[in-house]
Structure 1
Amino acid sequence: MSYLTNPSMTPSKNLKNTKSNKTIKLLKNKLADSLMAWSIPIVFVILWFYLTDGKISTRLFPTPFELVHTTIRLIQDGTLLVNLQISSIRALLGLLVGGSIGFILGITTGQFKLAEKILNTPIQMIRNVPHLAMLPVVLIWFGIGESSKLVLISLGTFFPIYLNTFHGIRSIDKSLIEMGKIYGFSAFEMFKNIILPGATSSIMIGVRQSLGRMWLTLIVAETIAAKSGIGYMATNARELMMMDVIVLSLIIYALLGSISDFIAVAIEKYLLRWNPNYQEE
């Protein structure tokens, strides 16, 4: 029935109803997505309750209630927050150093053929050596202090950002660059308005990959050579067979990884808000 046969249904009311329906549909879709995203963790927690209810020894795996009690205790005595702060600073510093160098070299080799010929081959040779395999060398050169962890995390985060920055620049549509030349863009304007926006999607993929390698490297570095941090806390707990602290450490690492990836996705959507593929439906 149209508003011609029913005067009460005006175009403005139809528009409001359409917007309302779209909003409700969007909320339902987001709720469904959230339920799907958390379905496996929820099933895991249910299984956790079931298995620790007399099915397996709590010495091998703590109950959820024991884990909550341990978390509260470690927060109250300051152990958890201090080690969490130290681990976070280590990880972010390593990402900042390795990511910055990877971004700069990726931009340089991506834009200049001569730089690619000079730098790309040795970088690729080093990339083929797993960065964690370099741990013994890094420990000998830098000791067990903060420098060795910074170097190791920087190595782990460098390559994904470098490769994706290089790939992002080389994947830019050449016609856009030609258009910039026609409009008389300077080198800086070309970089700001064409090259960087065109490569952002690829660069952010590198950032997300680097975040995963960052936490992985931190776990190894803190477990083997550290006097503080979440990994150190887990190592001490292992020696004392404190499974609740070990499991808590693993959960913290998982949460830190998830939170950092969530932030990276939010930044990616913001930077690429002009791109239809990154806009909310």
Structure 2
Amino acid sequence: MSTSATGVLTRPEETAESPPPQRKRRLPDLRRWLSPLALLVVWQVASSTGVLPPDKLSSPWTVLQAGVETARSGELGDAFAVSLGRVAGFALGAGVALVLGVAAGLSTWAGVLIDPPVQMLRTLPFLGLIPLFILWFGIGEEPKILLVALGVLFPLYLNIFSALRNVDPDLVEAAKALGYTRRERLLHVLLPSAVPQTLVGLRQSLGVAWLALIVGETVNADAGLGYLINNAREFLRTDVIVVGLVVYAALGLVTDALVRLVERRALRWRHG
């Protein structure tokens, strides 16, 4: 034991700065791959034994060969590039949802004016608007981009609006007691408190966006992954259909992983 300058007894190990504990790197849990691999094996066996006819669903090996074939021919790459360009609707829908959600969440008057029409539009099956969009905009890119934007707008708006309206009032009162201005309360209390639920809404929106894109491309498109799938359906190419669906699924997984990465970085303070 030693005595500090203030006369407080301290342990010797407390006087020297100890190095921060090293965080162990977590290895991926390989057990999560057991069930997908088992499903692939069952699928391959069912196709090889004739239980699953190829005109109903091609085997995984045939799908892999079709994927390599369409990638080498450039058909898959061209369709992928076209579909990826249509995801611009996500930025449009996210921007509108952010503006409306923040305005309605922070202002009572804005909430009264904005929330009722948004809630009414939200109850409409937005995929049912495709015929109307075709009449308004034709079969170009606009209907598909707007469809993706609508799919993103509503779930993201709901999460932003709910997050801002449900901020812990004790935190707001504490900020007022500490003399925070309205702008400081917004930047240091309200917006940070709304980030977790907003990121959840972002993940939900991404899932709906890919769903909207698939439907939009399979209904009225002359290029893209949806067109590739539709064209394969005409020739009963179930292998190419599965290739297109796998690419859609991969895009969804990648974008969701990116949001989860942002979530871990942005919310590190919650683990402190």
Same topology, TM > 0.5? yes
2:126 to 123, 126, 131: 131
Report deviation, 1:191: 2.3
User: Paired residue for 2:208?
Assistant: 213
Distance 2:92 2:206 in 1: 13
Q: Is residue 42 of structure 2 the alignment partner of residue 47 of structure 1?
A: yes
**Counterparts of 1:133-152 in structure 2 under 5 Å?**
133-152=128-147
How many matched pairs?
Answer: 252
User: Paired residue for 2:53?
Assistant: 57
1:90 to 86, 89, 108: 86
Deviations 1:210-263 (A, max 9, x none): 011001000100000111110110000001111110011111111111111111
2:192 to 190, 197, 206: 197
Distance 1:228 1:139 in 2: 16
Consecutive unaligned residues in structure 1, runs of 5 or more? 1-10, 12-18
Paired amino acid for 1:42:
L
User: Paired residue for 1:225?
Assistant: 220
Deviations 1:181-224 (A, max 9, x none): 34443444322211111000110111011011001000100000
Q: Is residue 143 of structure 2 the alignment partner of residue 157 of structure 1?
A: no
How high is the TM-score relative to the length of structure 2? Answer: 0.87
Q: What SS is found at the alignment partner of 2:84? A: helix
Deviations 1:96-119 (A, max 9, x none): 100110111100000000001111
Q: Is residue 63 of structure 2 the alignment partner of residue 67 of structure 1?
A: yes
Report deviation, 1:178: 2.5
Deviations 1:26-85 (A, max 9, x none): 64xx44x3322x222111111111011132322322222222221111111111111112
Q: What SS is found at the alignment partner of 2:268? A: coil
1:104 to 99, 108, 116: 99
Q: What SS is found at the alignment partner of 1:235? A: helix
User: Paired residue for 1:80?
Assistant: 76
Q: Is residue 261 of structure 2 the alignment partner of residue 266 of structure 1?
A: yes
How high is the TM-score relative to the length of structure 1? Answer: 0.84
Give the helix-richer structure, 1 or 2: 1
Q: Compute the RMSD of aligned alpha carbons.
A: 1.9
Q: Is residue 161 of structure 2 the alignment partner of residue 166 of structure 1?
A: yes
Identity level (%): 33
Distance 1:156 1:71 in 2: 29
Q: What SS is found at the alignment partner of 2:233? A: helix
Distance 1:61 1:121 in 2: 46
Paired amino acid for 1:99:
A
Paired amino acid for 1:149:
K
Report deviation, 1:142: 1.3
